[in-house]
Every structure is written in structure tokens, then in C-alpha cells.
Chains A and B, each alone.
Chain A
Amino acid sequence: GAVVSQHPSWVICKSGTSVKIECRSLDFQATTMFWYRQFPKQSLMLMATSNEGSKATYEQGVEKDKFLINHASLTLSTLTVTSAHPEDSSFYICSASLESSYNSPLHFGNGTRLTVT
């Protein structure tokens, strides 16, 4: 159980275009999902916390108008990278917990490799 599906696995887009990444919890409901960004040889950096039915909470330094997050249902959160630039090229990972308790581990999607040309 606790499967998180992320789509697409990789995407290449041109500068100035927008890209949408989907994150689905397949066998559980997730009121909260987390979006991370990972640079090569570096750790996962939390970008934002996606809350079902309400606005996402963004970490300091993350542009909310550039990284649009929508969590319209208990099983789907989307991250849209708007007006993408080459510096947005990265590995984006979503995750969710089975329970909202603070000792509940995260379950991760497979990640999305974004390359902006």
C-alpha cells in the first residue's frame, strides 16, 4: 500500500513554456502532499506543502507565482512550472504520508526530470 504515482517521469520543454507535473496517491487519501526539488549530488529541498482544498504553503525563497500548486482532491496534487527557464531544470519529487501524524513516514513518487532548453 501507500503508492504515490508521479507523471511524467521526464519532460523537456522550451524556455518560456509551462509544464505541469501530477502527483497521485493511488491507494490512500492524502490531505497533505509535499513537493521537493533535488539538484545533482544534493539533498531534497522542500519547495512547498500542498494542502487539499486550500492554498499551498511555500518555503522561503520559492516563488509561488512560478511554481503553482493545486491540490483539488484528496488524491491529486499538481505542480506547474510557469514560464520555465533553464535554471528550473531539476528533479522534482512529490511525497505524501498515510497519516497526518508527525511520526508518519513519507511515501515518494518516482520523480520528474525537467529539462528546459
Chain B
Amino acid sequence: AQSVSQHNHHVILSEAASLELGCNYSYGGTVNLFWYVQYPGQHLQLLLKYFSGDPLVKGIKGFEAEFIKSKFSFNLRKPSVQWSDTAEYFCAVKTNAGKSTFGDGTTLTVKP
């Protein structure tokens, strides 16, 4: 069975700081990787995804993530965070069976 590990439970940054959230997964086969975001009071929504091709994928609001197959990682990055990026971020893995497995989530707090 697949598993997802997010290293940081709570990250606090000042505006304009750079962000990197770690995500590692455990699965031997082909995977599709996602980052979802949940802003306060809102539902989960897709931030970006990777399933093939360029391992560096770009998502909404200036976020990007890099798939490193050898490290089983899919870290999320943003060069300069804004206060509005305060949210909870979930990394997820989806296998060919169609099931998605989520990490425990990382709460990002950006101080203005």
C-alpha cells in the first residue's frame, strides 16, 4: 500500500520568504502526484499535479513542485510567499487503482 509523508506539520514564515514543503511517498509502481490546498473556511482544491513529462510542474498562484523519482519526493516550493498563502497543504499520491492517499498536511502561516 502507498503512503505519503509530509515532514513539516506547521510552518511559519514572514511575507516574501521562500517556501519549501517536503513530501515523500512510498510506492513501487507508477504514481500520480498532487498538492492540494485548503484555505481557511474553504474546501480542498488542486494546487498542481504531476503524472508524466517535465518533473518540474507549475501550479496556480506561483507554486511549483519537483518530482524526484530517485528520492520518491515531490516537494512544493514558492519563491516568495504572501499572507494570502496561509492555508493547509496536502500532498497526495494516486495510483493506477484510482485511490488517493494523503499526507498529514502542513499548516502554513504567513505573517504580514
- Report A's interface with B, CB cutoff 8 A: 4, 32, 34, 41-44, 46, 49, 93, 95, 100, 102-103, 105-111
CA distance A43 to B25 in the complex (A): 14
A46: which of B44, B45, B46, B100 is its contact (CB, 8 Å)? B100
Interface residues as binary, B24-57 with A (CB distance below 8 Å gives 1, 0 otherwise): 0000000010101000001111100101100000
Known: A34-B100, A102-B98. Is A43-B105 also a contact (CB below 8 A)?
A: yes
Does B90 count as interface, using CB distance less than 8 angstroms? Answer: yes
B residues in contact with A107, CB < 8 Å: 45-46
Q: Which of A43, A100, A108, A109 contacts B103 (CB 8 A)?
A: A43
- Contacting A at CB under 8 A, from B85-111, are 90, 92, 94-105
Does the CB pair A43–B44 fall under 8 Å? no
Ordered by A's residue number, 5 sampled pairs between the chains whose C-beta atoms are within 8 Å are A34-B100, A93-B44, A102-B96, A103-B32, A106-B36
B46 and A102: CB pair below 8 A?
no
Q: List the B side residues contacting A93 at CB < 8 Å.
A: 43-44
Is the pair A103, B94 in contact by a Cβ cutoff of 8 Å? yes
Cβ contact within 8 Å between B43 and A111 = yes
Given A43-B104, A46-B101, A109-B43 contact (CB < 8 Å): yes
Q: Let me know if B96 and A43 touch, CB within 8 A.
A: no
- The complex places the Cα of A95 from the Cα of B90 at a distance, in Å, of 15
Q: Tell me the residues in window 1-15 of chain B with beta carbons closer than 8 Å to chain A beta carbons.
A: 4, 9
B90 contacts A108, C-beta separation under 8 Å: no
Residues of A within 8 A of B9 (CB): 41
Q: A43-B103, A109-B43 are in contact. Are A32 and B51 (CB under 8 A)?
A: no
Minimum CB–CB distance for A40 against chain B, Å: 11
List the B residue with the shortest CB-CB distance to A111: B43
B105 shortest CB reach to chain A, Å: 6
